[in-house]
Structure 1
Amino acid sequence: MTDQLPPEPDCSAQQLLTALNLEPHTEGGYYRRTFQTDQRPMLASAGGQRYLMTSIYYLLTGDSPIGHFHLNQSDILHYFHLGDALEYCLVFPDGRLETRVMGSDVLAGQCLQLHVPGGVWKASRLLPGAAGYGLISEAVCPGFDYADMQLGCKRQLSEGFPQHAKLFEQLCQA
């Protein structure tokens, strides 16, 4: 077996930011909404009227490598597209921690799709690689609304899940 370097990426993070017209996200990284079911009736939810589904591009880069801990009320399906692998840390309401890696190396156990149920705390981080970025899409059902998202606070999450305090120190904004 020979040591081989990974292939050089076809584009840079900055080129993707420009080509996909991405902007900074409050949780970290960059995004742009690409779809909402505006040709269908809205869905009544506890938080108000929501689209049935929305979708975004989401990019982590070397200068913004963390999607900080946050909780969404809706289910989210993540789809890996290109670049370096992304590690997801999921903390379930019962305190269970799951760590999953999204990437193109499915033979090494990386996943191309990841489901995160509503009510689960999640954070993501870019893993080292040649590209310097990781691009995914997210489909959210019912559709994403900032009123249904809560950013994680290190202190509060550490009080609720003390076994994960070190992780919250690394992956929470405040």
Structure 2
Amino acid sequence: MSDAWKREIEAIIRTLDLQPHPEGGHYAEIHRAAEGVAAGALPPRYGGQRSFSTAIYYLLGPGDVSALHRVASDEIFHFYLGDPVEQLRLFPDGSHRVVEIGRDLAAGQRPQSVVPAGVWQGARVKPGGRFCLMGCTVSPGFDFADFEMGERKALIDGWPEAGEMVEVLTG
């Protein structure tokens, strides 16, 4: 990585006050709705009340991955700047899909992408890229109690056709 790109990434981290994320990369929560949904109005997978929505900035740099994980809510990813991201999704029916989040619409990339609740997902900057700054909006709002990291062997056993990318996106 050139010094110029390293300085740009460091400036983004500093300017947006990003912190290391447990799944990889850096993030900052920029919104958490003050109002929420009562526990009794939510499906049983939630252990209590949740905010109506939350939003974060999320940065992946060179060599970073968003390790495979799943959450209890739908997530909407928004592309802001940098290079496209490849996001692996592992569905409960045993199928998988790689989605590209970016700005090259003609190449099939999309600037927004929705990951349904409970779908395993992980991401990396598309090979050859340097970094990507995205946003992620979650509704009902994100809570770490709803967050589960994936285990490599179980995910490869469940989705063997995605095994190569599962290896890249698990520790």
Scaled by the length of structure 1, the TM-score of the pair is: 0.87
Corresponding residue for 2:118?
A: 119
Q: Assess if the C-alpha contact under 8 Å between 1:43 and 1:52 holds in 2.
A: no
Q: Assess if the C-alpha contact under 8 Å between 1:43 and 1:142 holds in 2.
A: no
Corresponding residue for 2:80?
A: 81
Corresponding residue for 1:154?
A: 152
SS of equivalent residue, structure 1 residue 95:
coil
Alignment gaps of 5+ in structure 2: none
Hey, what's the Cα distance between the residues in 1 that align with 2:24 and 2:79? 17
Shift of 1:92: 0.5
Deviations 1:37-62 (A, max 9, x none): 11x24432432111110000000001
Hey, what's the Cα distance between the residues in 1 that align with 2:16 and 2:53? 20
Corresponding residue for 1:36?
A: 32
The AA in structure 2 aligned to 1:22 is L
Q: Assess if the C-alpha contact under 8 Å between 1:22 and 1:32 holds in 2.
A: yes
Greater share of residues in helix: 2
Q: Assess if the C-alpha contact under 8 Å between 2:96 and 2:159 holds in 1.
A: no
Alignment gaps of 5+ in structure 1: 1-7
Shift of 1:161: 2.5
- Structure 1 residue ranges (4+ consecutive) displaced by more than 3 angstroms after TM superposition: none
- Report matched runs for 1:99-114 at 5 Å: 99-114=98-113
Of residues 101-110 and 23-32 in structure 1, the stretch that sits farther from structure 2 once superposed is 101-110
Percent of aligned positions with the same letter in both sequences? Answer: 36
1:135 partnered with 2:133: yes
SS of equivalent residue, structure 1 residue 79:
strand
Hey, what's the Cα distance between the residues in 1 that align with 2:81 and 2:23? 20
Q: How many residues align?
A: 161
Q: Assess if the C-alpha contact under 8 Å between 2:36 and 2:49 holds in 1.
A: no
Scaled by the length of structure 2, the TM-score of the pair is: 0.88
- How large is the RMSD of aligned CA atoms in angstroms? 1.6
Hey, what's the Cα distance between the residues in 1 that align with 2:148 and 2:142? 12
Corresponding residue for 2:142?
A: 144
The AA in structure 1 aligned to 2:121 is K
Name the CA shift for 1:163/1:41 in 2 (closer, same or farther; >3 Å).
closer
